Structures are given as C-alpha cells and as structure tokens.
Amino acid sequence: MRKRVFLLMAAVAALLLTVAVARQTLRRERLRTLDRVDAFVPSPNVSPRPFWANVDCVVVHSTAGSTRESAVAIFRSPKSGVSAHFVVGKNGSVVQMVPIEMQAWHAGASSLDGAPGVNAYSVGIEMVNLNDGEDPYPDAQYKAVARIIRRLRTVCDIPDSRIVSHAQIALPQGRKSDPLGFDFARLKRLARENTSQRRSHP
C-alpha cells in the first residue's frame, strides 16, 4: 500500500514538474518575440534567468554620461561587469544589448517588495543622462521608454507599481540615486495612454 502511494505521489510530482517546465518554456519563447525591436548590440555581461523567474518589473536607470555610444561601449566591455537590456538615447533611439529572456547585470545588490536579486525578474532600461538632477529627459526619451514598456506588457504582467528607479531597489538604501529628475508619473501615464489607445483601436 505504501509503495503504491509513493508511486502515485512520484507520478503526480513528475506531472507537475512537466507542466511547470512546459509553461516556463512557453514563457521564454514568448519573451524572445520581444527582442531586437531596434538596433541590437550584444553585451557579454549576461546570464540565464533562474528557472522560477517571471519578468514582472522594469528598472529605469540613467547612464551618468552624455552619449549613447559611451554607454554602449561600457556595456560591451567584459571588464565592466555591467549591462542593461536597453539603452535609450536623448533622441529616443534605442539599442538593445541583452535578450529579454536573459538577465542583464544592471541592478546589483537589490531588492523589491522583499524579493532580492532584482536582475532575475526585471528588465533594465538605461537612459542617457548626466544624472545631476538638471540634465533634462526629452519627450522623445520618455516616449521611447514608454514604447518599450508597452511592448513588454504584451507578454509580461508589469503593473505600474513595478516600474521603478534604480535608487528605489538598490541595497543598501542610498547606494544609487538614478534617475535623478525623472518623472515616473509621466512615464506611467504615457505607457497607460498608449496601451489604452491600442486596445481601443485594434
């Protein structure tokens, strides 16, 4: 009797594992459809996402530099040990550097809502900006970031509450300040408006 119960439990566990693997494989395949929306310049600073990870967060950064090219060069260097999924220029141009299904190394020591290791379940977006609180973020940059979020939301469940700054998630608190001067309410409004327009006009 015990042997039968054990075999039944093992069969159920195997079935649940098979279903979980199938779901995660499908999720990863759907994430791949989001890649290469603009130019793609691969960074070597990537790693696989954990099996359990669901992409449900966007972390917005500023590069603390003045050009898109300088940020791309840093993320292309293996010595830097950092990367982001997207780099957004002042003019709204976008370079993707890491596939969505992979982890970019953008968050560092971090936690959101008690869950550590934000890289595992987030998409990192770097905006070209000096991060001095005075350098402006042009309309084109806001719109480009909103467009990325809108595209991510076609596959991922990313609520407004999980569109966050690097400063918000970095540990220890105060380790990061970016993106200084960025209007998150405006970004979230743009993303919602675009989503509403798409749904109203299929």
CA atoms within 13 A on the CB side of 91: 5
Given pLDDT bands bounded at 50, 70 and 90, which one contains residue 4?
low
- Determine the pLDDT at residue 31: 61
Q: Is 29 a catalytic residue?
A: no
Dihedral over Cα of 162, 83, 170, 120: its sign: positive
Say if strands 86-88 and 94-96 run parallel, antiparallel, or are unpaired: antiparallel
- Determine the pLDDT at residue 193: 80
- Determine the pLDDT at residue 62: 98
- Determine the pLDDT at residue 200: 37
How confident is the model over 109-153, as pLDDT tens digits?
999 999 999 999 999 999 999 999 999 999 999 999 999 999 999
Catalytic residue among 29, 69, 101, 126: 126
Residue 201, pLDDT > 50, answer no
- Determine the pLDDT at residue 27: 53
How confident is the model over 11-30, as pLDDT tens digits?
444 444 443 444 545 455 55
**DSSP H or E run through 46:** strand 46-48
How confident is the model over 52-90, as pLDDT tens digits?
899 999 999 999 999 999 999 999 999 999 999 999 999
Which residues sit opposite 123 in a β-bridge?
Answer: 58
Burial 148-178 (b: 16+ CB within 10 A, else e): bbbebbebbebeeebbbbbbbbbeeeeebeb
pTM of the model: 0.82
- Determine the pLDDT at residue 202: 34
User: Considering the chain, what is the average pLDDT of its residues?
Assistant: 85
Q: Which structural domains are found in the chain, ordered by start?
A: 39-200 (3.40.80.10)
Phi/psi of residue 170, nearest 5 degrees:
-65, 140
